[in-house]
Structure 1
Amino acid sequence: MSSSPFQIDDARFMHLIAPSARLDELYSGCRWAEGPVWFGDLGCLLWSDIPNQRILRWSSDAMGGGAVTVFRQPSNFANGHTRDRLGRLVTCEHGGRRVTRTEVDGSITVLAESYQGKRLNSPNDVIVASDGGVWFSDPTYGILSDYEGYQAEPEQPVRGVYRLAPDGQLARVAEDFLQPNGLAFSPDERTLYIADSGASHVPDAPRHILACDQRDGRLSGRRVFATIDEGIPDGMRVDSQGNLWSSAGDGVHCFAPDGTRLGKILVPQAVANLAFGGPRRNRLFITASASLYAIYLAVSGAKTL
């Protein structure tokens, strides 16, 4: 009998998990799996295989299984994805150093590719607020080499977080990161969580998740929310109770709103990102190195499209 995929650090974690649930590997064969996003109206999950220049689609069926097909190739080294308030796919592209939106007819609209006349570094992760504002991180991973994009020198003086307002105005709302990465809002959107994954290339750098107060598109009160003890923080999601689920080197770490680590989902490969999905949004899809995994929980993801 296999061991449990759960590590329980706090009794509260028991109310968030289904102890008998198993970790299912749904697909393997990626070079670096990233950016999962759930389409409940279509019953499918999209995610990126960055070095292979493709976006993959896992489609569920009535028996609970699924089939994997290619959604887009080449993908322009697509990384993180989300959906906007109209349900359209919003994508961070390393290759184009831009954020794009896929329209209903399949055409692609560029949302952001430069700031103050200079090209962005390589947009990485993206979320959309209830007011329609598009928030994205802009580290340099996609221009460090030709593996996840095209090697180039950065034009921006910092590695920041940006907000594209509904009126189309782009603002840099946070900076002074080694490598800003995953983003997530609390359910009420009054807190923005930002992962700094700079320890990927600077071993003694902090491996932490920061929290900022958010009001009307402005950030304040920056503070360390939690620290990852294995690997680095990357993609993150929040559940309906406000708990933060973060990627890590040994799996997915779950933190209470007060920053206490409640437990872990142990995964055989280093986790890059995750997304809640399924008909009841209580299935956690996990992109980890070469594979896509999924596990059922006793809590659902925070309400989104």
Structure 2
Amino acid sequence: MNYKLIVFALCTFALVGKSQGQIVDKKNLIEKNAQLEKIETGFAFTEGPAVSRLGDVYFTDQPNDKIIKWSFFTGKTEVFMENAGRSNGMFFDKEGNLIACADLDNQLWSIDDKGNKTVLIESYKGKKLNGPNDLFITPSGDMYITDPLYKRDYWTRDPESQQDGEHLYFLSANRLQFMPVDENLVRPNGIVGTPDGKNLYVSDPGANKIYKYDIIEDGYLSNREIYLERGSDGMTIDFRGNIYVTGEDGVKIYNKKSEEIGHIPIPEKWTANVTFAGPDRKTLFITASESVYKIRMKVYGTY
């Protein structure tokens, strides 16, 4: 997400506004008596939470060009990587590498546990991408990457699009096939898939929609349908198939029928992203503006 535009648009948004209020839990998803806890604050803009095998969360402080690690066991944060390519969305692959949407040079990186990076994608048809924003990795290792155009003041290149639109891309598990799989999006952003690898959800804030797809053979998508008439920054999913969406109203939860069944207000101007953390994947970890939060759940997620 374009953090500067968000701050600009919401600079007058009072913290007593939409992001305040009582937690709503219509389907008993949240642990009894659980409270929203602020883990740490003082960041510039937090994004891209990705959960490791052990349940720790790696997230970005994009304006400060850092990836931060939060330890589930100690509850503390530490800098994992500086000069992190202005990384935004991230996801761990099956080998334990952190895959990052490195917005500085419009690339997709693979980062090992020592912080060494490998560039996986740097262009399409000889031209730079707009700026990879978020990604999802299927159980088979295939990737889906959103590529909106949010013009950055730190780019040294022409900030206009070099692609013919803002698309959703597919990268095969063997890294040999990279192609757009939906070229009819306005500004794709958040993305998440079902743990069985059969369905994909993609947020298009430019169209104020979240779409649902069937994932079919060779990474292609079919049966696109509108899941929600709203956009979202980041998203996650629990084992029941409920979708957790983010934005200026904190975290809202929708079931498979697109019915709103929960709301976790966050006392920040913008809630950017969310994931399930901990060894049991029952801690909801939330990145929101200058802070990160957590709350214990009854349901668990896979990521």
Q: What TM-score, normalized to structure 1?
A: 0.87
| Secondary structure of the corresponding residue to residue 154 of structure 1 | coil
Over 2 Å off, 4+ runs: 103-107, 147-151
8 A contact 2:81–2:115 mirrored in 1 = no
1:94-243 counterparts in 2 under 5 A?
Answer: 94-141=103-150, 144-146=151-153, 152-167=159-174, 168-198=176-206, 206-216=207-217, 217-228=219-230, 232-243=231-242
Corresponding residue of 1:262:
261
In the alignment, the residues of structure 2 paired with residue 149 and residue 287 of structure 1 have an alpha-carbon distance, to the nearest angstrom, of: 28
8 A contact 1:77–1:149 mirrored in 2 = no
Asked if 1:46 corresponds to 2:55, the answer is: no
Match for 1:107: what amino acid? N
8 A contact 2:96–2:113 mirrored in 1 = no
Q: CA deviation at 1:4?
A: 7.1
Q: Deviations over 1:14-49 (max 9, x none)?
A: 2x12241100110111221100011242x5211001
Q: Unaligned stretches of 5+ in structure 1?
A: 199-205
Corresponding residue of 1:73:
82
| Secondary structure of the corresponding residue to residue 271 of structure 1 | coil
Structure with the larger strand share: 1
Q: Unaligned stretches of 5+ in structure 2?
A: 1-19
Could you tell me the percent identity over the aligned residues? 34
Match for 1:161: what amino acid? L
In the alignment, the residues of structure 2 paired with residue 221 and residue 298 of structure 1 have an alpha-carbon distance, to the nearest angstrom, of: 32
Q: CA deviation at 1:105?
A: 4.9
Q: Deviations over 1:33-77 (max 9, x none)?
A: 100011242x5211001111111111233xxx5222111111111
In the alignment, the residues of structure 1 paired with residue 137 and residue 65 of structure 2 have an alpha-carbon distance, to the nearest angstrom, of: 24
Match for 2:265: what amino acid? L
Number of aligned residue pairs: 281
In the alignment, the residues of structure 1 paired with residue 145 and residue 204 of structure 2 have an alpha-carbon distance, to the nearest angstrom, of: 13
Q: Deviations over 1:250-270 (max 9, x none)?
A: 111111112111121111122
Q: Deviations over 1:136-189 (max 9, x none)?
A: 100012xx1316997612100110111111232101101222210111112322
Asked if 1:87 corresponds to 2:96, the answer is: yes
RMSD, matched Cα = 1.9
Corresponding residue of 1:22:
35
Match for 2:62: what amino acid? I
Q: What TM-score, normalized to structure 2?
A: 0.87
8 A contact 2:127–2:163 mirrored in 1 = yes
